[in-house]
Structure 1
Amino acid sequence: MDFTLKTYRSLLSALEQSGYAFRTFEEFLSVPAGGKVVVLRHDIDKRPENALRMAQMEHASGIKASYYIRVVKGTWNEEIIERIVALGHEMSYHYEDLTIAKGNYEKAFEYFKKHLAEIRRFYPAKTVCMHGSPLSRWDNRKLWEKYNYREAGIIGEPYFDVDYTKVLYITDTGRAWNKTGASVRDKVEGGLELKVKNTRRLITLIGNDKLPEKLIINTHPQRWFDFGWGWMNEFICQHIKNAVKKALVAFMH
């Protein structure tokens, strides 16, 4: 049974037992470390209550992770933001301002600064991360072709400030690991690639010391449940979404 909280706990244990040190993305950029290092990046697209469960699980194991939350209705939840920050995790903005502004760059940058200020009421955010907005015509990263996030006190963005020839990026976009056909924009340029069928296989590779020393593992908490109705609903809905994404990827190429 994949994408359950029990499976996620097993993934954390495998990383710990294999000797990986856990760093927030902010720490990863600020204090480069030798040896095995993993950044757990969580994109809170929806279901913030799932993110809180993951944050609590990590905290119980003494692990710090990086959480990026959208500002849209149904996702933005100040009580949950406060609780995740109180557990010692990094919290910042999962930005999609070019989409919100319908392609107006000037408005988008104003929105970005406003939304970042909202996040900073709870955490002194120094990194941000793009939301892919797969059904949008606008790629939110293109905002930085005209503006510079460093002007807002941001030291890094995962799609721009990591050398992926030295860091392996693993994402559960599409409810699979590095499934390119199910990802419209959640991709990185680099020499390291990994395709695994399921989380159990990923855990086996970690246990057998088959992965590089530097990892960024991106998860979307809305996919991870204890088995039950929520898990079944996500399973069915994601299969439908993947078919749509696959068509979009084919169209874009």
Structure 2
Amino acid sequence: MDFTVKKYKELLKSLVNQNYTFQTFDEFITDPSSKSIVLRHDVDLLPYNSLAFAKIQAEHNIKGTYYFRAVPESWNEDVILEILDLGHEIGYHYECLTTCNGDLKKGIRDFEDNLMALRKLAPVSTICMHGSPMSKYDSKDLWKTYDYKNYDIIAEPYFDVNFENVFYLTDTGRRWDGHKVSVRDRVQSSFNKVFHSTDDIINKIDTLPSTIMFTFHPQRWNDNTLLWTKELLLQNTKNIVKKLFFVQKQHPLNQS
């Protein structure tokens, strides 16, 4: 079975055995290693799933980056503090134009308020857009008018990583080739490697590039059969809806 915590542990072990340096996103931006992996986690839902990932990584002396949304289903202060205490980076998973219906002025105030609240719990030096695939608003558009670096933010992955040089793997769509059903979690890349399952990655682990960013949505990974099946059915339905009604509208020429 894929997308279980057991399978995640297998993936992590295989990466460790390749002697990568695991860096937080902040560390990667400020002092990138020549052979490094950034483990990015979008805490969209079920924050205790992210805490489980953070504990597994800490057992291997690995650090990752965890982006929290400013909504009740993500923002759990006990979890944020515990993940921070484990040595991981905390970041803000902003979706301000979605929550503010495209209003730029309200959106930047929402960003400022949520960033300030998160910084009361943890240092925050990086941010990352939450895709909100069912919304017509792309929160990255906030930065066409404003500049996140004015808020002591050093980087945002979709703006500050050259994915022509950094291999990007994301479990968007509950699959590793989810670009076909992704509305906004897309990057321009020169790499021609495509994987579908976690086992595909593990079996080809020695062929991976020297610099990689993984994006995980830990709510998708579960050892509980009932919850695993529920997430599978839900995500498959979402994939169909996204591809038919959202992806084809925004990316009509990229449907391979």
Shared fold (TM-score, shorter chain, > 0.5):
yes
Q: Tell whether 2:205 aligns with 1:211.
A: no
Instruction: Specify the alignment match of 1:11 in structure 2.
Output: 11
- In 2, the alpha carbon distance for the partners of 1:128 and 1:251 equals 27
* Preserved CA contact (<8 Å) 2:21 2:33: no
* Shift, 1:193, TM fit: 4.0
After TM superposition, the runs of 4+ consecutive aligned structure 1 residues lying more than 4 A away are none
* Preserved CA contact (<8 Å) 1:5 1:225: yes
One-letter code aligned to 1:69 = F
- In 2, the alpha carbon distance for the partners of 1:148 and 1:104 equals 16
One-letter code aligned to 2:187 = V
Task: State the number of aligned residues.
Answer: 250
Instruction: Specify the alignment match of 1:159 in structure 2.
Output: 158
* Preserved CA contact (<8 Å) 2:43 2:67: yes
Give the root-mean-square deviation of aligned CA atoms: 0.9
Q: Deviations over 1:121-154 (max 9, x none)?
A: 1211100000000000100101000000000000
Q: Helix, strand or coil for the counterpart of 2:91?
A: strand
* Shift, 1:192, TM fit: 2.1
Q: Helix, strand or coil for the counterpart of 2:93?
A: strand
Instruction: Specify the alignment match of 1:251 in structure 2.
Output: 249
- In 2, the alpha carbon distance for the partners of 1:192 and 1:120 equals 36
* Preserved CA contact (<8 Å) 1:178 1:194: no
Instruction: Specify the alignment match of 1:89 in structure 2.
Output: 88
Q: Which one of 231, 237, 240 corresponds to residue 240 of structure 1?
A: 237
Once the two structures are superposed, the pairs formed by residues 148-187 of structure 1 within 5 Å of their partners are 148-187=147-186
**211-220 or 68-77: which moved more?**
68-77
- In 2, the alpha carbon distance for the partners of 1:144 and 1:174 equals 26
**Runs of 5+ in structure 1 lacking a partner?**
none
- In 2, the alpha carbon distance for the partners of 1:157 and 1:60 equals 28
TM-score normalised over the length of structure 2: 0.95
* Shift, 1:99, TM fit: 0.8
- In 1, the alpha carbon distance for the partners of 2:179 and 2:163 equals 16
Q: Tell whether 2:76 aligns with 1:77.
A: yes
**Runs of 5+ in structure 2 lacking a partner?**
none
Q: Helix, strand or coil for the counterpart of 2:157?
A: coil
One-letter code aligned to 2:247 = V
**63-72 or 176-185: which moved more?**
176-185
One-letter code aligned to 1:9 = K
Q: Helix, strand or coil for the counterpart of 1:68?
A: strand
- In 2, the alpha carbon distance for the partners of 1:194 and 1:219 equals 18
